[in-house]
Chain A
Amino acid sequence: MDILALDPSRFIELNAASVAFLFIVGFIGGLVSGFIGSGGAFVLTPGMMSLGVPGTVAVASNMCHKFPKALVGTIKRFKYGQVDLKLGLYMAISAAVGVQGGIRIQQMVLQTWGQAGSDLYVSLSFVAVLVIVGGYVMQDAIRCARCHIPEGTPPLARRLQQIELPPMVTFKTSGIRISFWFTVPVGLATGLLAATIAVGGFVGVPGMIYVLGVPGIMASATELVVAFIMGLGGSINWAMHGLVDIRLVLIILGGSLLGVQLGAIGTTYVREHMIKVVMATIMLIVAVSRCIALPGYLVKLGLMDLSASTLTILGRVSFVCMCFALFIGAVIILGSMWRGRAAERADGVAGAHGQA
């Protein structure tokens, strides 16, 4: 692909290996997003940067592929009755405010401690949020896997739903009625995290499940609405600054539109706790990845001393760990989907024998 007229400082030269890498990561990221409502973005941005794409172009191109993927996923899961559009809109509005707050905090950190301080802040936020939320979700997923009855409303959500704080809002599709003021912090936290670590869904989906009382399948589908609205707004902003590399976007989109539909289909075959299992597994592995990357930022801040070769190795291990998180998520999704399909077929055969 000839890119002679393109500014080489902004637009990389593509070869077969980089195209294959972006397509495959796009597919796996799409699969995970279609299933849990978010994910994939955390690997794509560093993945593009490892190919030589400048950070801002990587972030812009990643976001520009994210919103059409979320749109296709939303449409697919809407057909299965899993999307609460009204809740998605409420969440997206407060998340947009949260994004602005997150950007302000980032700017403050950047001004005070410089780029290394900002990177350290992002990594610490990653680790803290992923360990706390991911650990809780995993604990709940294990508990849900052991009990063979349908999951009820979580205790916190049940209490909040009983508080009559006007205005009360009824989300018919999710089957919940809750004060508007309890939806706001969940949306704000989603936006804040999206502006900090680019994956707001890691707080948005658990927030909808445990704070609002939305069923897991519906929360993950509704998160796609939030991702679409926020992604569209962000992409317009980046595109107006001319930072979107349309070639990268279309290659990733080629894989992710296949993946997101497969992930959406997968949600119809699994028990509800599988959403939590996949989300928690990815979150905890990504937390480990960020822990491995932490010494690099501490060295830049002069708080630790390590050799350059050690830092390079740690950086590579951290990136491989992130790819592994996405890969293991995809394996769990495809495995549980396969088992669900097999059980479905077995039920069909048993039903046919019963009728005969």
Chain B
Amino acid sequence: MAAKTDRKPVGRMTVFGLLTVAMYAAVFTHAEVITSMFARGSLWAAGPIATVFAFSYVHGTFASDLWSVLGVNARPQARKAAETTVARPSARATVKA
């Protein structure tokens, strides 16, 4: 699975996990107010868009770390392949004037 030198991001997962819980709690304890504000349309459209970006960063980081801590990582070869150069098409022949 993962390389033996890989350290599991337990600390980061805990921090982002707690942040995720805090954010969900903040929204759902004020669900009525937030939902009705975001449903006003027009410039309030920034509300749901900014909210999902914030959640995708915090919860996304937590989710990524959670799978790592559970030992579900990408195949090591895939990670190495991404670090090396990809096979590219041959360049077109050009004539230097």
Contacts and interface: CB of A to CB of B under 8 A. Distances in A.
Interface of A: 1-7, 10-11, 64-65, 67-69, 71-72, 75-76, 79-82, 170, 172-173, 175-177, 232, 235-236, 239-247, 249-250, 253-254, 257-258, 261-262, 264-265, 268-269, 340-341, 344-345, 348
Contacts of B67: 258, 261-262, 265
Given A170-B89, A247-B28, A6 B55 contact: no
A79 B47 CA distance: 29
B74 A258 contact: no
A230 to B, nearest CB: 14
B53 A81 contact: no
Contacts of A81: 78, 81-82, 86
A269 B41 contact: no
Q: Is chain A's interface secondary structure helix, strand, loop, or mixed overall?
A: helix
A182 B81 CA distance: 29
A232 B33 CA distance: 24
Contacts of A172: 86, 88-89
Q: Is chain B's interface secondary structure helix, strand, loop, or mixed overall?
A: helix
A252 to B, nearest CB: 10
Nearest to A168: B92
A69 to B, nearest CB: 8
A246 B86 contact: no
B44 A247 contact: no
A7 B39 CA distance: 10
B84 to A, nearest CB: 8
B63 A261 contact: yes
